Amino acid sequence: MFGRRFKIFRLAGFDVHVDVSWFLIAFIIVWSLATMFRTAYPSLADRPGVCWAMGLIGMLLFFFSIVLHELAHSVVARQFGVHMKGITLFIFGGVAEMADEPPSPKAEFWVAIAGPIMSVALACLFLAGSRIPQPLPSAALLMYLGVINLVLVVFNLIPAFPLDGGRVLRSILWAARGNLRWATKVTSRIGAFFGMALIVWGLLRIAFSGNILGGIWMILIGMFLRQAAQMSYQQLLLRRALEGEPVSRFMRTDPVVVPPQTTVADLVDRYVYVHHHKLYPVASNGDLLGCITTRRIKELPREEWPRHTVAELADQCTIDNTISPETDATEALAKMSRTGASRLLVVDHGKLVGVLTLKDLMRFMSSKVELEP
């Protein structure tokens, strides 16, 4: 979903990231708000610096409102034992990234509704603040933030998956029939239909009102929601296909292994340039001694490569890049999703017995499950 992103801070135990696409929408919002304030309040027309400052502050507070909205999802999800990868701001707003599905309809409902509840609370706070006697710029800004948070609530409560309203509907359908797959299928189709409706609406705006920017924006949001709805259902099918299958069924028993005495120069020439992996196990006689990554190699000056061995640079392998052969494959998939790794080393009592790749999992899943639109 995301391209390059940066961590900006940590809040309540969750990392908050900014995707590079966010900078585009941030600029558009600042410019739009500055223009809106200058047009809506004639007394500010000859004070462009104030309008731009209001636009910048409004943008920052709006996105912080989104962070709090997603934080509410994350905190409640954590209470129900759902692992959250963090919060990311991107061009279409923000998202709290769940590594797993909620364990029950009750958990799904409360995780989904927590965000809108937070937004309603923020809207009430901003609107109440705008009623306090104060200079026009700050009152106008608070009024805008209150209204935009209410708009956020209304939009998110549309019963189209993966919007919050779609998740609430999924929890109700899940509780009614006891079938998460069916509930996800129904709500994701509603989400796909809603996305298509936004695309059509955007085209009509361009054709009949001449609002090219607004129309393009609606089309982009519609495309994003449609794709997200379809992918959500497919991901659920993939998880179901792997349930009950041990990692040992999919692992390759002949992993590429680097001997500890190998020089870094040989590692690059004989392994990195040949296999193009980002991580290599360092082992001797089957014993896993550590892991060496391409990032670790880059930290060493090139002229030093022939004079240092892999054993000197290797780090201890961690739970993020290793897994046991009897582990359920769904846990392996969740770990890959959580860490962004495409390969896991399969280790049994300190012995390297294989390697599990995302490509092998996908190949199995595509053969077992017919992905539905």
244: left (phi over 0), alpha (psi -120 to 50) or beta: left
The letter for the amino acid at 115 is G
| Pairing of the two strands 343-348 and 322-323 | parallel
Q: Return phi, psi of residue 293, to 5°.
A: -115, 160
Is-contact 328 244, C-beta < 8 A? yes
Is-contact 66 93, C-beta < 8 A? yes
Question: Which run of H or E residues covers position 146?
Answer: helix 136-156
Residue 302: partners with Cβ closer than 8 Å, 6 or more residues away: none
Residue 2 is encoded by which pair of tokens?
């995301």
Is-contact 314 289, C-beta < 8 A? yes
- Long-range contacts, 339-348 (Cβ 8 Å, 24+): 341/279, 343/277, 343/278, 343/279, 344/247, 345/255, 345/279, 345/281, 345/288, 345/291, 345/317, 345/321, 346/247, 346/248, 346/251, 346/322, 347/288, 347/317, 347/322, 347/323, 348/324
Reply yes or no on whether 331 is catalytic.
no
- Burial string for 5-40 (b: 16+ CB within 10 Å, else e) reads beeeeebeebebbbbebbeebbeebbeebbebbbee
Give me the residue label for tokens 């940590």. Answer: 10
Active-site pick, 70, 331, 370, 372: 70
Per DSSP, the three-state class of 208 is helix
The letter for the amino acid at 44 is L
Known catalytic residues are 70
